Amino acid sequence: MLLSLRDVTKTYPGAEVSVLQRISLDLESGEMLALTGESGSGKSTLLHLMGGLDTADRGVVALDGVDLTPLDDKGRAALRRGTVGVVFQQFNLIPSLTVGANIAFQARLAGRHDPDRVQRLAQRLGLGDHLAKYPEQLSGGQQQRVAIARTLAPQPRLVLADEPTGNLDEATADTVFALMCELVAETGAGLILVTHSERLATRLGRRLHLRAGQLT
Amino acid sequence: MTGPILVALLGHWRRNPLQLFTLLAGLALGTALWSGVQAINAEARASYDAAEATLGEGLFPQIVAGDGGSIPLATYVALRRAGWNVSPVIEGNLGPVRVVGVDPLTAPKGIGPVAVEGADLGAFLTGAGQIFAREEVLATLPDTGAALVITPAAAPNTALMDIGLADRLLGRQGRIDRLIVAQIQPSTRRPLAEVAPGLVQSAPQGDSNVARLTESFHLNLTAFGLLAFVVGLFIVHGAIGLAFEQRRPMVRTLRALGVPLGRLILLMALELAVLGLSAGLVGVALGYVVAAALLPDVAATLGGLYGADISGELTLRASWWLSGLAIALGGTGVAAAGSLLSLSRMPLLASAQPRAWVMARQGAGLAVLSLGLLVLSGGLAVWGHGLMVGFAMLGTLLVGGALALPPLLTLVLRLAEGRARDPVAQWFWADTRQQVPALSLALMALLLAMTANVGVSTMVSSFRLTFTGFLDQRLASELYVSARDAEQAAAIVAVAEPRTNAVLPILSVEAQVAGHPVEIYGARDHATYRDNWQLLRAAPGVWDALARGEGVLVNEQLYRRAGRDLGTAVRVAPGLDLPVLGIFGDYGNPVGQVIVNEAVFARQFPDVRALRFGLRLDPAAVDALRQTLRDQAGVADSAMVDQAAIKALSLSVFDRTFTVTTALNILTLAVAGFAMLMSLLTLAAMRLPQVAPVWALGLPRTRLAALDLLRAVVLAALTGALALPLGLGLAWALLAVVNVEAFGWRLPLYLFPMEYLRLGALALLAAVLAALWPAWRLSRMPPAQLLGVFRHER
Ligand SMILES: Nc1ncnc2c1ncn2[C@@H]1O[C@H](COP(=O)(O)OP(=O)(O)OP(=O)(O)O)[C@@H](O)[C@H]1O
Ligand SMILES: [Mg+2]
């Protein structure tokens, strides 16, 4: 089992109800899952827990059978470097690095840098001409594709994407979405994709809906 | 409409009290630094002015006895009968207090009690009389029966009274020290040489001796004040710039909502004026505290070094605090003008973040500007003349150097980035480079503070080294003795001759060379001079030629002012022109000096008898000889000075100077460090979008915090690397250009590597301290806050 959640509960300080209430979930390698839910239902929160970006109040989040809960800051950081890849809705990129350096960054952190792969990814995502530019010189869709390339460059076992196409128009969103699914499928990683779009959600093998802290 | 805009503008400060604090603190500290130094300067100058007004030395010609003695009452009376409009003065010491007796009936306007407001001439002249002085001076006077009048405007450490009372207190029995010559004189008066052959008239000195001697010290303080001002301006500029940068998104929103640009700019300018004024008030108060803390040391320095009397107390002058406020407001205005301009040009729809590549383009412009300024500074150094040019050169050097910092940093960081193999290292360099524009003003302030440190400490230390070396050669004799009169002089020689290795008479007269006042000294041909004196420049066989009476030595001042280089002739006396054989350093002396052989001197000035002697003897025997001279020749203790005491005194004076400059150095550095802290703190909030992705990609917060500390160290070290050459340039400019233009002597530049290392360490420490808190906050930042970057549309 690649990812497994058991009875995960999360309450933000000061909030009366828990965002997530005893959530359980399993995901195999190669499996692709769409996560939907109203705004404010806790999708991002759940994704952050799975990626070791935040910690649950109760319950177990395990990656490859290893429980994340007892890990300290350093341990979780190592996990983010090596095993998980996260694509955010926006402000993904490191503004001070060029597009090329951004794409290679995580792979190099993970010690799995392969220049050829970076080149190939960039070509496939249509970024070949933009490698020397800085993120702010790109359009939103281009930036999102850089973020996807960066996440996939080190071949993570689990890809978590938080509304990666939320800022894009429909046509661009479709292209980016298709490319991402294709590339993830090639690496055989698991994918959890948060989206508001029914259209996109139905295209993935499995889908879950988050409501009132519960998965349905 | 104004109401809601103001609410929005001010609401920003309410939500971000830290930013408001940094803005106010930056303004206040900049003002404090500047006004503190100014206060010290103004106080010392006011003390001289008071001294000058009391003594009239600088304003009027004086008549004194040619032999340096006193003037009999009868001579004075004869002069007045012959038509001379002169007024007698008696001076002397009563305990520690300088007593000045004047005659108010004959004294020119502006002197003595004529200048003291509310003086009652009748009471001053009659009966027990009146004594005018500052309160603390009056307290130290013995009881004389005279009425004491507290006069805050009086010169420090000076008691002013009627000449009759002074005569009685000092026991002068009618002998006068000098005569003040009024500006208007009847043309019918008989020539001075005819009426009183022993007397000579000297021209007004323009400045009092004391004022001129201390000019050097004040010039340094003024230079320091200038530096402090520039540092302060950079800090103010940085604080204002950040305040605008932080509110860009809000301004954009307001404009999108339909607020007219003009109204917005007007309101922001008004808001800044209020902030600038309140911060300026705090700054002036702080500056006052700084000045009050340092003034006693400055006063002691000037007193010890030049015998100048400076009040150790600070008075609050309107001109001073008004200028402090003006600086705060002006600095705010200058700093805000650029920001307001860029705000007015800001497109409505653009990234709210400072953009790296736009900044890089601005960097190129800065580099060109800075290069231009540095070239100009170099040109002024090579081809310029005059004091103002010297200061212009200093200014261009400093500003040019400061502006060079951001492009240089960017260049070095780009190189480092290119060479980095590790991705984190690569990001570190790139991220550091991106922060340079936001940090540049704080870093420039740090640069200038370090430059001032290096420059001023190099200058003061060079001065100290040169001066002590100079004392070693000039004070070669172990004991110096002054005689009351020729009779006692003979007694001293008789007592000293058998007990010492040499008795060297010190013969001198005052004269003029090419219109410049000089002292002519007669020197005996003795190993003391040959072995100890180091000449700046000399003809071959200089001492032998001097001994044969074939030439003279001149001091550097005369060489520079009157152009008396080696080989040119100096008119020692009518009909006697001798070539210059050598030039000697004569630091701190305002007038020129000419040294001739003793025999030549005796031929030209047969009437001048030596009243001072330098005695060469075993240092261990000095105390015994003092005793013998006291007992057998009746020499007062105060008339004997031993070399060790003088050296100890001047060293202690230098230590005082060091206390002052060190304090100012540390203060500037601390203020620059604080400016850095403010910038880092404000930057920390704006930087989250840059840090959060790196954190999300797997760099722990502690590592990020450690990198932030490292970044501060790297930036401070690079800044220090530039500050060193700049500081040495500053020291060189002060010693070799400004000093020469102002005083006629040039000080050699010495290097003090250990001092620079210490300063470097201090600057690094300041940087680390400044970075510590922001770094600690980053290491403790809740993940939710970092994640917020990805969650919210900003
Ligand atoms: N740092 C935080 N502190 C307190 N409450 C928070 C915090 N972050 C999120 N919340 C709250 O938790 C709930 C879930 O937020 P989350 O961002 O996970 O929602 P979401 O499903 O991703 O919404 P969206 O579709 O709009 O992105 C919301 O009600 C939000 O207000
Ligand atoms: Mg979300």
Q: Is residue B504 part of a domain?
A: yes
What residues of chain B lie within 8 A of the CB of A93, using their CB? 693
Report how many domains make up chain B.
2
Residue B463 has pLDDT above 80, yes or no: no
H or E stretch including B522?
strand B516-523
Most confident of A71-75, B91-95, B675-679: A71-75
pLDDT digits (tens, 9 = 90+) for A130-188: 998 888 888 888 888 898 898 889 899 999 998 888 777 888 888 888 888 998 998 88
Per-residue pLDDT, averaged over B760-779, amounts to 87
- State the pLDDT at residue A9: 93
- State the pLDDT at residue B305: 47
SS (H, E, C) B11-76: HHHHHCHHHHHHHHHHHHHHHHHHHHHHHHHHHHHHHHHHHHHHHCCCCCCEEEECCCCCECHHHH
**Residue B489 is encoded by which pair of tokens?**
């002089």
Give the length of chain B: 794
The answer to whether B729 and B227 have CB atoms below 8 angstroms apart is no
pLDDT digits (tens, 9 = 90+) for A43-100: 988 998 898 888 889 999 998 888 888 888 778 878 887 888 888 877 678 777 789 8
Q: How far apart are the first and last CA of chain B?
A: 26
Which among A43, A57, A96 is the top mutation candidate for probing chain B, defined by the most B β-carbons within 10 Å of its own β-carbon? Answer: A96
Tell me which ligand sits closest to the C-alpha of residue B786.
1
Residue B356's pLDDT band, with cuts at 50, 70 and 90, is: very low
- How far does residue B634's CA lie from ligand 1's centre (Å)? 99
Q: Is residue B567 part of a domain?
A: yes
Residue B302's pLDDT band, with cuts at 50, 70 and 90, is: low
Residue B128 has pLDDT above 70, yes or no: no
Task: Provide residues with CB under 6 Å of ligand 1.
Answer: A 12, 15, 19, 37, 39-45; B 784, 791
The answer to whether A39 and A195 have CB atoms below 8 angstroms apart is no
Q: Is residue B456 part of a domain?
A: no
Best residue among B787, B791, B792 to mutate for probing ligand 1, ranked by most atoms within 8 Å of CB: B791
- State the pLDDT at residue B224: 66
- State the pLDDT at residue B204: 55
pLDDT digits (tens, 9 = 90+) for B428-458: 998 888 888 878 877 888 888 888 888 878 8
pLDDT digits (tens, 9 = 90+) for B312-326: 555 666 777 787 788
- How far does residue A194's CA lie from ligand 2's centre (Å)? 8
Calculate helix-pair angle for B753-779, B423-474, nearest 10 degrees: 150
Closest atom of ligand 1 to CA, residue B782: 1
Per-residue pLDDT, averaged over B406-433, amounts to 89
pTM above 0.90, yes or no: no
- Give CA–CA dist A77/B695, Å, rounded: 8
Lowest model confidence (mean pLDDT) among A2-11, B154-163, B531-540, B541-550:
B154-163
Most confident of B125-139, B162-176, B212-226, B661-675: B162-176
Q: Is residue B426 part of a domain?
A: no
Q: Is residue B673 part of a domain?
A: no
- In this structure, the residue with its CA closest to atom 1 of ligand 1 is B784
- State the pLDDT at residue B353: 44
The answer to whether B586 and B593 have CB atoms below 8 angstroms apart is yes
User: Among B597, B621, B647, where does a domain finish?
Assistant: B647
- State the pLDDT at residue B319: 72
- On the 0-12 / 13-18 / 19+ scale of CB atoms within 10 A, B497 is exposed
pLDDT digits (tens, 9 = 90+) for B16-69: 777 788 778 877 887 887 787 777 767 666 665 665 555 554 567 778 776 667
- On the 0-12 / 13-18 / 19+ scale of CB atoms within 10 A, A39 is exposed
Which among A39, A97, A103, A108 is the top mutation candidate for probing chain B, defined by the most B β-carbons within 10 Å of its own β-carbon? Answer: A97
- How far does residue B784's CA lie from ligand 1's centre (Å)? 10
Q: Count of A–B CB contacts within 8 Å?
A: 98
Per-residue pLDDT, averaged over B202-215, amounts to 48
Calculate helix-pair angle for B423-474, B643-686, nearest 10 degrees: 160
Residue B1 has pLDDT above 50, yes or no: yes
Residue B211's pLDDT band, with cuts at 50, 70 and 90, is: very low
Per-residue pLDDT, averaged over B272-292, amounts to 86
Lowest model confidence (mean pLDDT) among A101-110, B341-350, B513-522:
B341-350
Beta bridge partners of A206: A33
**Residue B19 is encoded by which pair of tokens?**
């930013």
pLDDT digits (tens, 9 = 90+) for B362-381: 667 778 888 898 899 888 88
Q: What are phi and psi of B683, to 5 degrees?
A: -65, -35
Residue A3's pLDDT band, with cuts at 50, 70 and 90, is: very high
- State the pLDDT at residue B206: 42
Neighbours of B194 (CB within 10 A): 8
B548 close contact with A: CB closer than 8 A: no
User: Among B619, B647, B675, where does a domain finish?
Assistant: B647
Residue B653 has pLDDT above 70, yes or no: no
Per-residue pLDDT, averaged over B466-484, amounts to 77
Residue B392 has pLDDT above 70, yes or no: yes
Which among A48, A50, A91, A152 is the top mutation candidate for probing chain B, defined by the most B β-carbons within 10 Å of its own β-carbon? Answer: A91
- How far does residue B791's CA lie from ligand 1's centre (Å)? 8
- State the pLDDT at residue B793: 45
Interface residues of A toward B, Cβ cutoff 8 Å, are: 12, 44, 48, 51, 53-55, 73-74, 76-82, 86, 88-97, 101, 104-106, 108-110, 113, 134, 136-137, 162
Q: Is residue B713 part of a domain?
A: no
Q: Is residue B320 part of a domain?
A: no
Lowest model confidence (mean pLDDT) among A23-27, A93-97, B500-504:
A93-97
pLDDT digits (tens, 9 = 90+) for B591-630: 788 999 988 888 888 888 888 888 888 888 888 888 888 8
Lowest model confidence (mean pLDDT) among B39-48, B333-342, B381-390, B408-417:
B39-48
B406 Cβ partners below 8 Å, 6+ apart? B363, B366, B436, B437, B440, B443, B444
How high does pLDDT run on average in chain B? 78
Lowest model confidence (mean pLDDT) among A6-20, B71-85, B152-166:
B152-166
B445 Cβ partners below 8 Å, 6+ apart? B231, B234, B235, B238, B671, B672, B675, B676
Per-residue pLDDT, averaged over B490-508, amounts to 87
- State the pLDDT at residue B314: 59
pLDDT digits (tens, 9 = 90+) for B232-271: 777 777 777 777 777 776 777 666 666 677 777 888 888 8
Q: By residue range, what is the domain housing residue B116?
A: 59-204
Task: Look up tokens 């971000």; give the residue.
Answer: B16
Residue A191 has pLDDT above 90, yes or no: yes
pLDDT digits (tens, 9 = 90+) for B562-596: 888 888 888 888 888 889 999 988 776 667 889 99
Per-residue pLDDT, averaged over B741-750, amounts to 76
Say whether B613 sits in a helix, a strand or coil. strand
Q: Is residue B91 part of a domain?
A: yes
Taking CB atoms and an 8 Å limit, are B424 and A77 in contact across chains? no
User: Among B647, B673, B695, where does a domain finish?
Assistant: B647
Taking CB atoms and an 8 Å limit, are B696 and A12 in contact across chains? no
- On the 0-12 / 13-18 / 19+ scale of CB atoms within 10 A, B418 is exposed
The answer to whether A215 and A43 have CB atoms below 8 angstroms apart is no
Domains observed in chain A? 3-215 (3.40.50.300)
- State the pLDDT at residue A160: 92
The rounded percent of chain B whose pLDDT value lies above 90 is 4
Lowest model confidence (mean pLDDT) among A128-142, B208-222, B476-490:
B208-222
Specify the pairing of strand A158-162 against strand A190-194.
parallel
